[in-house]
Amino acid sequence: MPVVWNTGGYERPETIAALADTVDIFLADLKYMNSDLGSKFSSAEDYVDFAKSSIGKMVEQTGSPAVDAEGIMRRGVIVRHLVMPGCVKDSKATLKWLYERFGNSIFISIMSQYTPPAIPDGKSPDRPLHKAEYRSVVKYAMDLGIENAFLQELSSSGGQYVPDFDLTGVL
């Protein structure tokens, strides 16, 4: 059974190195290529630098994806990228960096599930992703030559997938 490390991508490479003999599959986010977006949406101006270094270390440790005869991934890296409303240019820059750096030696999940916060926070986009925005990013990925990609239906966004966060069941 492979061990999967689910991460937001904001780790030091030393942390990833310490997991070398434990983790088989890294499931990491790469949220932005633009430091201003990292600062605005994640309060992490240095997010891009940390995420790029960490993902590089993950790929170095696991190598190309290993999938068994039943189609189950046994080793490798999957990078998730959530396309944000109004941020198509940054999404394309993210995919370009991933492809130029790793080619098809990783899997990329291009996600469409952004859901605006129920209570606006003044920072996050206040609308769902438009179909044209997502399609533009997916087309760009295909034009780059990305072959190992997971895509989502736009119906995967919406409040039905957001928990109430009312602390029900929490002791």
What's 71's domain CATH number?
3.20.20.70
In degrees, to the nearest 5, what angle opens at C-alpha 133 toward C-alphas 127 and 135? 135
Q: Tokens for 3? A: 């061990």
Q: Is 168 inside any structural domain?
A: no
Confidence of residue 166 (pLDDT cuts 50, 70, 90): low
Whether pLDDT at 26 is above 70:
yes
In 3D space, the residue among 42, 70, 75 whose CA is nearest the CA of residue 59 turns out to be: 75
Q: Does 169 reside within a domain?
A: no
Look over the chain and give the mean of its residue pLDDT values, rounded to a whole number: 89
* Residue 117 belongs to a domain: yes
Q: What pLDDT shows up at residue 109? A: 97
The kind and range of the H/E element at 144 are helix 131-144
Q: Classify residue 171: in a domain, yes or no.
A: no
pLDDT score recorded for residue 69: 96
Q: Does residue 56 lie within any of the structural domains?
A: yes
Total domains present in the chain = 1
User: Do 105 and 59 form a contact (C-beta atoms < 8 A)?
Assistant: yes
Query: Considering only CA atoms, which of 165, 153, 161, 150 is closest in space to residue 80?
Result: 150
Q: Which domain holds residue 54?
A: 4-161
Using pLDDT thresholds of 50, 70 and 90, give the confidence band for residue 136. very high
Sequence-distant (6+) residues with CB within 8 A of 115 are 128, 157, 158, 159, 161, 162
The pLDDT value recorded for residue 43 is: 86
